[in-house]
Amino acid sequence: MRYQHVLLPALASLAFASDDTISVSDNPAPTPDALPLEDLRDIPVPTFTTATGVTAQDIPYATASAISEVSSQVAATPLSVFPAATDVPINDAGTNSNGEVDGNANVISNTNTKLKRNPSGVARQPRKRAACDPEPTITNYYNVGLDSAAAFRADASISDVANTANPAPVGYFQNFKNKQAANSAMNYLGYSVVDTGKGYDVAWCASKCNSKAGCTAFNIYFERDPTADPGPDCPNPTAFANIKCSFWGTALDETSATNTGQFRYDFEVAIAGSNAYTSYKLGGPVAGWLGPQNLGNAALNAPLWDCTNTWTYMGYKLLQAGSVDPRLCAAACDSQTTYNKAHPAIAADGTAKPVVTCNAFGSYILTKNNATGSYQQGQMCTFYTAYWDAKYATNKASFDDAIGAKYNYTYSAFYGKQGVQPSCGGEFVGASGTYIKGGKKPT
């Protein structure tokens, strides 16, 4: 059995800290690199599908394939063509011979599964496995109460375990602890049942995430699950206390902890003792690029022109699959430069104009908030001719009043290409840390 979740946000109160960003009120005028609201209106919220009744679901991430695909897409659809939302295929998995989604596929769709309802009005999950078939179980390590979902959630032993668990494995910081909900964020990479003989094993989950390509966060939690697949002949099977660890290619926080459970026929799945951890490597350095400059929860509002009198903003790419990875933005930036060199603009006298190259990019998680909730839209990549200073990161939020939406930016970082920055009177000095101070309008 599999069921879908709408992706909810990781607004990340523990995102990069930035104390010197300028308030958006200091520069309220709209700029070309402002968020393209009209282009985003029709872009659907990604969803993901979770397998049930199995001990693990593995959704692989192939970095090299993802980078190659982004490069190819930019070459085919240059950044000047909008909208530029991209669902990046990252592996060759797909559907099986019956046309069903393969459990190893990176499943991202634009709609939610339509659930049938029982007479009480509670959603049933679509049934794929044979009803009443036994499901894999693990030992009830902590003698958790299982008589009802309410008893499970109220069990003091679960709270004790979650509250005293490892606060942060090496390389991670803790997002929250002991919530009665699991994360439902974007870039889902699968899960594993934690059955190491050590019970609630945070270190094992961290090790699994470390060894999994694209994994930047994990969520460990107790789940009240059925010992058999619920169906008409066994609508409410005996329960057992599962321990699961889910893996993500994004950041986690409390706002994305929205999965409190669901009904499978008359059996109520429940969540308790949920702890989440995000890796410090999210938004890390990229080989061959300066930075990153941490922009906090803000996006760039760059001057219109770089020091060579070139219009600095080059466009954007919104990535909606795989893992939040600045290397994808870097690949798109390089691919745009390659395209521009192969297709130079022609001046009125028939000569080729100077080639505009992509020399810097921003990367951040874009989250949409409206009356129905908050939803991660994807990883936004923005592209520039120059490596601007963090003082220009003044965009804190964007509002689309036409659809009643607010957009936030988290884990925002800015990168510059080494050795190719525009140099005008010493305003930029390679990798020394001296950034371009500002642009000047052509005379």
Counted residue by residue, the chain has a size of 443
Domain boundary among 279, 303, 328: 279
Is 205 within the bounds of a domain? Answer: yes
Cα–Cα distance for residue pair 301/313, rounded to 1 Å:
10
300 and 211 part of one domain: no
- The total number of structural domains in the chain stands at 2
419: left (phi over 0), alpha (psi -120 to 50) or beta: left
Residue 334, pLDDT score: 96
Residue 204, pLDDT score: 98
154 and 219 part of one domain: yes
Helix (H) or strand (E) holding 69: helix 63-76
Is 14 within the bounds of a domain? Answer: no
With a CB cutoff of 8 Å and minimum separation 6, the contacts of 128 are: 1, 2, 100
433: left (phi over 0), alpha (psi -120 to 50) or beta: left
414 and 303 part of one domain: yes
242 and 203 part of one domain: yes
345 and 223 part of one domain: no
Residue 125, pLDDT score: 40
Residue 310, pLDDT score: 83
250 and 314 part of one domain: no
Residue type, 120: S
Task: Look up the domain containing 130 and give its range.
Answer: 46-60+106-279
150 and 267 part of one domain: yes
Q: What is the largest CA-CA distance in the chain?
A: 83
388 and 269 part of one domain: no
Cα–Cα distance for residue pair 243/251, rounded to 1 Å:
21
Residue 354, pLDDT score: 84
296 and 215 part of one domain: no
Is 15 within the bounds of a domain? Answer: no
Domain boundary among 250, 279, 308: 279
Residue 6, pLDDT score: 38
Dihedral over alpha carbons 137, 138, 142, 148 (to 10 degrees):
-10
Q: Is residue 240 within 8 Å of residue 165, measured between CB atoms? A: no
Whole-model pTM? Answer: 0.78
Is 327 within the bounds of a domain? Answer: yes
pLDDT in tens, the chain (443 residues): 443 343 333 333 323 333 332 222 333 445 678 888 888 888 888 778 889 889 999 998 888 999 999 999 888 888 865 544 554 433 222 223 333 333 222 222 222 222 222 333 333 344 455 779 999 999 999 999 999 999 999 999 999 999 999 889 999 999 999 999 999 889 999 999 999 999 999 999 999 999 999 999 999 999 999 999 999 999 999 999 999 999 999 999 888 898 999 999 999 999 999 999 999 988 899 999 998 999 999 999 998 888 888 888 998 999 988 899 999 999 999 999 999 899 887 878 888 888 889 999 999 999 998 898 888 899 999 999 999 999 899 999 999 999 999 999 999 999 999 988 887 765 554 433 444 444 444 44
321 and 426 part of one domain: yes
Cα–Cα distance for residue pair 83/79, rounded to 1 Å:
9
Q: Is residue 409 within 8 Å of residue 272, measured between CB atoms? A: no
380 and 271 part of one domain: no
Domain boundary among 261, 279, 297: 279
Residue 129, pLDDT score: 57
- How big is the CA angle at 353 (ends 348 and 358), to the nearest 5 degrees? 145
- Residue 267 has a CB neighbour count (10 Å cut-off) of 21
Reduce the DSSP state of residue 154 to 3 states and report it.
helix
- The proportion of the chain whose per-residue pLDDT surpasses 70, expressed as a percent, equals 77
Is 242 within the bounds of a domain? Answer: yes
123 and 270 part of one domain: yes
- Residue 379 has a CB neighbour count (10 Å cut-off) of 28
